[in-house]
A and B are shown apart, each in its own frame.
Chain A
Amino acid sequence: METVTGKGKVSVSFLEEVMRKSGENLNLCYQCLKCTVGCPTAPYMDIRPNNIIRMIQMGMKKEVLGSSAIWFCVYCQTCGTRCPNEIHIGVLMDALREMAIEEGVPAKEKNIHLFHEAFIQSVRRGGRAHEVTMLMEYMLRSKDMMKGSLIPGMKLFLKGKFPLLPSFIKERGEIKRIFEKCQTKIKE
């Protein structure tokens, strides 16, 4: 288990900011490690979930927002279910992802972020997610043609699982309006 040592610049208000944004009381954490032990993606993270909390307490904003950990979390909620202090780390990770995007910190796992974007684009187009166009967009953006996505995709296609054309809903104008409203709100 790695130890956390504070070096470099720390942000005094980081803990408060994260607690406000996520709604989770991170002061309650006593490092029992139940979250990290149960986490399915912790072995692949650069910083383990329990250490993420400790580093937030220490104000290590740059390190936390720039970590791969926040992008590896798939929000399975095992951590939150088992935390004796009822800290929902999945919620926390989502808040950290949003903060990273807002602050313009490049995602350490850039492909995961690109996949989220391709998904939203797909819904924006027709109201429903459509795997073929979504994965095509993802592959073009990530330039990740050969690493895994293409081959299983082709297999599914050959099994007749993917219709070539997306199924659009009738009220696409309504979807467009909702998206536009949201964007004006974000800009405000």
Chain B
Amino acid sequence: MDYLYFPGCTLYTKAKNFDQTARNCSRLLGFELKEMKNWTCCGAAFPLATDNLMALLPPSRILATAREEGTVLTTLCAVCFNVIKRTNRLIQEDGEKRDKINNFIEKNYQGDLQVLHYLEILKKEIGFYQLKEKVRKPLEGLKAAAYYGCMLLRPFEEMRFDDKENPKLFEEFLEALGTQAVEFPYKIECCGSFQSVGSPDVATECAYKILGSAIKNGAEAMVSTCPMCTFNIDHKQADIKQKYLDFKPIPVFYFTQLLGMAMGLDPQALGFDQNAVDPMPLLKEKGFL
């Protein structure tokens, strides 16, 4: 089965390696990510105050356009996933808002699209047990910390991704790849998000707490599902090192990079050159290259 795919702006720019590896992994797993036509920015934030209609329009337009092409829409970026899934739910449940939105975007969308994250496809449609059997090069001996961040999980009532305080799905995925998933208390903490632009010090502090907690619990690498989190916990490590002299940087992977490596993709095609902290020494030390 092929899945309609919404990449999102960042996966065309800053997270090209995330996009590419996901597409390549899909082919090995027996499905294709079919990019939807004419997608725009998702708006990057679900509107919260009750009468804010404007921010609902970009995700609604995406959903309506995608519905013309298929019935299941998948995303990789956790922020886009959050915005699109919640908007879809709102359109399903609130008839008045639905009519208003349709009037604005000049479409007739009824909310009958299923929005799934790539990890959910791996779990529900393929199954982690089956995934384990498809792994050609198990990443044995790698201690990886699954970092969820906020957007996959919260708000719990709407996302229903996994447990709100102690999710396990991401760890199960990493264990299917052969790694040893590290438990750490900051796995669902916020990375500081867009504060990295306006108040960089705030984001640096948030990232330091998360990384520090993972390292303390034995992590050799972090794994992320979100380009925003990845910017804060990967690219900010240079700033952290300047502030905390005893801090030792650890590589941060997109989960698809590890998936690709375990599936036996050529390491050259996994975009490791775009990671801020060079993962090559660790991968060589573990004998994966």
Residues of A within 8 A of B (CB): 20-23, 40-41, 43-44, 71-72, 74-78, 80-81, 88, 90-91, 93-95, 98, 109, 111-112, 114-115, 119, 122-123, 127-131, 135, 138, 142, 147-149, 152, 155-156, 159-163, 167, 169-171, 174-175, 177-178, 181-182, 185-186
Contacts and interface: CB of A to CB of B under 8 A. Distances in A.
Nearest to A40: B190
Contacts of B150: 76-78
A123 B54 CA distance: 13
B188 to A, nearest CB: 8
15 contacts: A74-B190, A78-B189, A93-B48, A95-B48, A123-B43, A123-B58, A130-B13, A131-B14, A138-B197, A149-B200, A152-B238, A155-B235, A169-B39, A178-B61, A178-B105
Most buried by B among A127, A129, A149: A129
Contact of A109 (B40, B45, B198): B198
B51 interface: yes
B190 A78 contact: yes
A146 to B, nearest CB: 11
B193 A128 contact: no
B199 interface: yes
A133 to B, nearest CB: 11
B270 to A, nearest CB: 15
Nearest to B37: A170
Given A72-B202, A77-B150, A127 B194 contact: no
A81 B14 CA distance: 30
B166 interface: no
Interface string B13-36: 110100000000000000000000
Contacts of B206: 40-41
B268 interface: no
Contacts of A123: 40-41, 43, 58
Interface string B258-271: 00000000000000
B164 interface: yes
Contacts of A131: 13-14
Interface in B32-70: 38-41, 43-45, 47-54, 57-58, 61
Contacts of A78: 150, 154, 188-190
Nearest to A109: B198
Nearest to B58: A123
